[in-house]
Amino acid sequence: LRALHVYLQTPFNDLALWSNATVQLSLTILWVLLAWITMWTATLKKLKPMWILGGSILVIVTLKLVLFDLSHIGTLTRVISFLLAGGVMLLIAYIAPMPEKTD
- Within a domain: 103: no
Compute the mean pLDDT over every residue in the chain, rounded to the nearest whole number. 81
Q: Name the pTM for this structure.
A: 0.74
Domain containing 82 equals 24-95
- Within a domain: 1: no
- Within a domain: 30: yes
Q: Are 36 and 88 in contact (CB under 8 A)?
A: yes
pLDDT in tens, 25-72: 788 888 888 998 999 999 999 999 999 999 999 899 888 888 877 776
pLDDT in tens, 72-95: 666 777 777 778 778 888 888 888
- Within a domain: 11: no
Distance CA 69, CA 77 (A): 9
- Provide the domain count of the chain: 1
Q: What percent of the chain has pLDDT over 70?
A: 83
